[in-house]
C-alpha cells in the first residue's frame, strides 16, 4: 500500500477528513493534498507532521518478490 493510501485508511479509522487533518496541522487542505503526492522522506514537506499526527512511521525494507 502506498503512503497516500495508508493515510486515507488511517483517516477512515479515525473518522477524520483530510480537511480536519489539514486544520490540525495548521495548513491549507490543498497543501495537504499536494504533500500526499510527494515522497514521505522529504523532510522539508508536511510529511513529518502528517505521520506524527496519525501515529505512523516510515519503514524501509526490501521489496517482496
- Has residue 62 been placed in a domain? no
Cβ 38 vs Cβ 45: under 8 Å:
yes
pLDDT of res. 63: 72
pLDDT of res. 41: 75
pLDDT of res. 19: 96
Which residue segment(s) compose the domain that 29 sits in? 3-54
- Residues sharing a CB contact under 8 Å with residue 37, sequence separation 6 or more, in sequence order: 4
**Overall number of domains in the chain:** 1
- Has residue 61 been placed in a domain? no
pLDDT of res. 1: 67
pLDDT of res. 43: 72
Query: Which residues of the chain carry a pLDDT beneath 70?
Result: 1, 60, 62
Amino acid at each position: 500500500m502506498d503512503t497516500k493510501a495508508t493515510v486515507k485508511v488511517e483517516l477512515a479509522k479515525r473518522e477524520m477528513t483530510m480537511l480536519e487533518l489539514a486544520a490540525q496541522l495548521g495548513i491549507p487542505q490543498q497543501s495537504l493534498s499536494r504533500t500526499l503526492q510527494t515522497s514521505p522522506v522529504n523532510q522539508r514537506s508536511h510529511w513529518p507532521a502528517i505521520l506524527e499526527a496519525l501515529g505512523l512511521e516510515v519503514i524501509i525494507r526490501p521489496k517482496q518478490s
